[in-house]
Each structure stands twice: as C-alpha cells, then as structure tokens.
Amino acid sequence: MSGTPPASPPANPSAKEPNGGFVRRIGLFQATAINMSQMCGIGPFVTIPLMVAAFGGPQAVVGFIAGAVLALADGLIWAELGASLPGAGGSYVYLRQAFQYRSGKLMPFLFVWTAMLFIPLIMSTGVVGFVQYLGYLWPDMSDTQGDLIGIGMIVLVIALLWRGVEHIARITAVMWGVMIASVVLVITAAFTNFDADKAFTYPSHAFDLNTSGFWVGFAAGLTIGIYDYLGYNTAAYMGAEIKEPGRTLPRAIVYSILGIMGIYLLLQIGTLGVVDWHRMLDSDSIASKSVASAVLEETWGKGWADFVTVLILITAFASVFAGLLGGSRVPYDAARDRVFFRPYGKLHPRHRFPVLGLATMGVVTAGGFLIGRHTDLATLIQLLTTVMVIVQALAQVIAVTVLRRRQPSLRRPYRMWLYPLPSVVALVGWLVIYGYADKNSPGRHPIEWSLAWVLAGCVAFLLWARFEKVWPYGPKDVSEEYLHGADPDTVPAPVASADQA
C-alpha cells in the first residue's frame, strides 16, 4: 500500500495549510474508529429482526454474510479511489475526476444533489433506532416525547461537531470504545447461554434456491446487510483531513469491514441462539423492537439489560455523530469547485469545518427522523439504499475503470486487489439490490422515486449550468490536480497551536 511520490511541485488543493483549508490530523486508529463507529451504530440492533423477517428464519445470517462480501468488494473500490484522490467529499471528488471528460460536472453535481438527501436520511434511521431502544427503558414514552427526544439528540450532535476536528477525533475514539463494549457484552451474554438448536434449526425449504421467494428474501436481506455495513467509507469523505491518506485510507476501510464482519456474525448467531426467532416477528414483543435488550434480560437479568441498553444508546449516538461528521464534508469541495451552491464552500474561521453543510444535514436528519418515526423503518432503508445505488455505488464501479484508462499515470499508493473481480462483484450486488427494490417495498415504488429524484437533479443541473455558463452551455473545465499535484503522504501534519491543544 505504498507508492512513489510524483515529482510535481504544485500544492495539491486537498492538502491545505491551516489558513487555507482542512488540516491533516486524523491517523489510522482514528480513521478506523470513525468508520467502525458509523458502521456499528444502532444498525444491527434494530435490523436483526428485519433480517429474520426477510429470510423467514434463522438462516438470516446469510444476509449479513452477503452484505459483508458486497461491502468488502465495494470497499476495495473506495480504497483505490480514496488513496489516489484524497480530497474532501469522497465520491464527489472521484466522480468529478472520472466523468469530467465527457459530461463535465454533471455526475459530481448529481452526487452532491443526492448525498445532501441520502446521507442525513441514513443518519435519521440511527435516531429512530435510538428512540426505539430508549422505549425499553421508558416503556410509557409517548410518540410526542419520542419525537422531541430525537430532535434534541440531533441538536446535541450538531453542537458537539461545532468545533475543531482534533477535538472531534478524541470524542470519536471514546465513543468507539463504548460501541465495542456494548457489542462485546451482548455477544458474551449470548454465548454464555447459547442454544445451538435455536440458532441452527431452519424451517423446511429455507435454502430452496429454485423458488422466487428465496431470491426476493435474499435481495431484501442483502439490502439490510449492506445498510448495516454502510460507514466503511466515512473516513474517505474526510480525505483532506487524513494523515498519509495513501496508506491510511485503504487500511482503515479494510480493517473496519473485517472487524465489523466478525462482530456482526457473532452478534447475529449469538442472538438467534438465545431469542426464539418467532418472537422477532411479533410486533408486540420486546425482541422485535429491542432485541439486544431481550438477549440481556433472558441471560443476565433486567439490571444488565438496562445497562447494556444505555451503552447501545451511546453507540447509536456515536453512529449519527460519525456520519454527520463525514457527510458534512461532501458539499464543501463541490462548492469550492463551483459544482454546488457557493456558500457551502466556506469553513468556520477558527475550527475549519464546513458550517452550512453541517447545518443543512442536521436539518434534513431531523426531517428524516420524523418521517421514519411515523412510517416503516424497513421501507425507509430500502428507499435510501435505492437512491444511493443509482447515483453513487454504480457510478463509482465505473469510475475506477474510467480513471485507470483516462489517468494511467495517476499516483496510486493502493491498487485494487484482484482487479477487476471486486468491481464485478460490487456491480452484481448493487444491481440485485436495485432490481428487487420494488418487490421488497410493494406499493412504495423506490425505483420510480429514485429515477424521479435523479431526473429532478438533471433539471437542476441544467439550470445551474446555464447560470454558471459551464457544459453543456460552456467549456467542460477539465481539472487534473491530483494527477499533477504533490503527494499528500509526504505532507507533514502541522503542530497544534496552544488554542487548539
């Protein structure tokens, strides 16, 4: 995972000095912690029952395995792109560099257009899960009280993020430790009272591959599985703030996926070995809403269940915290390149974080939370994933190959293992999720809504392009700063000043 730095002297725009932009202060441990905090938030604790419902039994573990395979294949795409193009905004940078030759700024514009919606809405599912688990400790909580608590949580997250990134890295490391403690306790409790018959006794025809029902369930499980793994790319959105990004980002992505893969499998199997899966399908049962609390209650008693529920709430908070931290960086680089509204390109004068991006995503997260609270969480996950697939996931699969052809001399500290196999696996996985979306959300039309959103983005792009006088109403403005820029892996991290320490 190392490469030879280019000899070009001009400064890379993604490697700013403190008075000109982001500062590279986040190392490997912190980047991995940011990824894992976002990946293992409330997700697995609320989706285990959803996964069981999708597969119709304890064979639901297949969904987490399939999600891990897709996450690893897609993660290797992120690893190559992130190491080569370590700028603020992640996918925005990758799509801008790859597709600028034919369609100008259309693809990065569409990504930012969509990311400003799907990133905070994914965070809103974490807030929904937070309130859902809080209901275990507060069974008499009303809908209005739950709504107010969720909104208050979002306000607190924004307040904590309203500071320098070096302080945020410390906070994230602490919350990462709480996350590890919560899942370790649930797994330990499960395996101290593990019943193999519960975990490995499958319904008849559970693995009948010749039925359409299996594949519909598989697609639904794959969607839920990849939703649980989402977050392995969070540090890549902060590429301009990562120390030695060519080495750090690929390792952080792979380490976080492998670590969470092991955690999820143990958590899923352990839970199924304690709680009868039929209970997870009963909407009136604790196991359907707070399955981890049910595990602790049945194994170590109510006191331990309450304690671990508190840790899970902190874990959910950490997930939303890490997601908004990375996501708020997405519109920044786009605005600096005039591919999004220009006010989003401004940083806080002292703490150097994108003010408007963070504020906007906080507002959208609040709106998504209120929608999710009063609709179906599984459908919300399906809608979010479908929109993300068409604009980000499939486009990045293509972007890796396009960049290898268009910029063969681009500095690549990491090159995808077994290329192009991971790209093919990722492509098939994302197409399965997208193709089965309508069948898994009957009456909700996620495919149609995703296409409508992209079409609206294209119209917005044409209006914006006419105002800015860029392609198709002006020149394409091809930029290859990463091809000719300095190696960010050789840029030393600045020493913190007295007021930043």
Render pLDDT for 470-500 as a digit per residue (tens, 0 to 9).
Answer: 899 998 888 888 887 777 777 655 544 433 4
126 against 484, higher pLDDT = 126
Residue of higher predicted confidence among 138 and 379: 138
- Cis amide prior to 10 (ω within 30 degrees): no
Span 259-287, mean pLDDT? Answer: 91
pLDDT at 4 over 70: no
- Mean pLDDT of all residues in 320-334: 77
Q: Which residue has the higher pLDDT, 343 or 424?
A: 424
pLDDT on residue 15? 38
Q: Give the phi and the psi of residue 160 in degrees, each rounded to 5.
A: -70, -30
CA distances from 288 to 48, 133, 244, 346, 372 (A): 9, 11, 44, 44, 17
Q: Which tokens in the block code for residue 454? A: 């992209």
d(CA 432, CA 411): 33
Q: Of the ranges 121-135, 168-182, 201-215, 238-252, which one carries the lowest mean pLDDT score?
A: 168-182
Closest CA to 251 of 41, 80, 482: 80
User: What pLDDT score does 21 carry?
Assistant: 60
Q: What is the 3-state secondary structure (H, E, C) of 448-479?
A: HHHHHHHHHHHHHHHHHHHHHCCCCCCCCCCC
Residue 14: name the closest of 98, 95, 90, 100 by CA: 90
Q: Which of 131-145, 168-182, 482-496 comes out lowest in average pLDDT?
A: 482-496
For 370-410, write each residue's pLDDT tens digit.
Answer: 888 887 778 788 888 998 998 899 999 999 999 999 999 99
Mean pLDDT to the nearest integer, 113-122: 87
Lowest mean pLDDT among 186-195, 424-433, 483-492: 483-492
Residue with tokens 């940083």: 347
List domains and CATH numbers for the chain: 28-474 (1.20.1740.10)
Predicted confidence at residue 492, as pLDDT, reads 59
Confidence (pTM): 0.84
Structure confidence at residue 303 (pLDDT): 95
Q: Which residues pair with 238 in a beta bridge?
A: 88
DSSP state of 243: S
Write the DSSP assignment of 373-441 as a string of letters: HTS-HHHHHHHHHHHHIIIIIHHHHHHHHHHHHH-TTS--SS--TTTTHHHHHHHHHHHHHHHTHHHHS
Question: DSSP letter string over 67-87?
Answer: HHHHHHHHHHHHHHHHHHS--
pLDDT digits (tens, 9 = 90+) for 69-117: 999 999 999 999 999 999 877 888 899 899 999 999 999 889 988 988 8
Q: What is the mean pLDDT of the chain?
A: 85
pLDDT of 327 > 80? The answer is no
* Predicted local confidence at residue 349, as pLDDT: 74
Cα 353 to Cα 330: distance, rounded to the nearest angstrom: 12
For residue 279, the model assigns a pLDDT of: 92
pLDDT grade for 222, boundaries at 50, 70 and 90: very high
**Per-residue pLDDT for 207 more than 70?**
yes
Give the pLDDT score at 166.
Answer: 56
Q: Is the CA virtual torsion 203, 204, 208, 212 positive or negative?
A: negative
Helix (H) or strand (E) holding 447: helix 446-468
| Comparison of pLDDT for 453 and 17, the residue scoring more | 453
Give the range with max mean pLDDT: 119-123, 165-169, 284-288, 363-367: 363-367
Give the C-alpha distances (Å, rounded to integers) separating 231 from 6, 52, 64.
Answer: 31, 22, 15
How buried is 469 (Cβ within 10 angstroms: 0-12 exposed, 13-18 middle, 19+ buried)?
Answer: exposed
More confident residue, 267 or 441: 267
Alpha-carbon torsion, ordered 174, 178, 183, 188, to 10 deg: 120
State how far the alpha carbon of 432 is from the alpha carbons of 61, 438, 454, 463, 476, in Å.
18, 11, 19, 33, 34
**DSSP letter string over 110-165?**
HHHHHHHHHHHHHHHHHHHHHHHHHHHH-TT--HHHHHHHHHHHHHHHHHHHSS-H
- Per-residue pLDDT band at 12 (split at 50, 70, 90): very low
Beta bridge partners of 88: 238
**Predicted pLDDT at 255:** 95
Q: How large is the average pLDDT for residues 176-203?
A: 89
Distance CA 36, CA 252 (A): 9
The percent of residues in the chain predicted with pLDDT above 90, rounded, is 46
Least Cα distance to 62 among 264, 282, 335 occurs for 264
At 238, the pLDDT band (50, 70, 90 cuts) reads: confident
Is 70 exceeded by the pLDDT of residue 151? yes
Helix axes 165-192, 143-161, angle to 10 degrees: 130
pLDDT grade for 7, boundaries at 50, 70 and 90? very low
Of the given ranges (208-212, 247-251, 310-314, 465-469), which has the lowest mean pLDDT? 208-212
Q: How confident is the model at residue 146 (pLDDT cuts 50, 70, 90)?
A: very high
Band of the pLDDT at 351, cuts 50, 70, 90? low
pLDDT band at residue 11 using 50, 70 and 90 as cut-offs: very low
Q: Does the pLDDT of residue 20 top 80, yes or no?
A: no
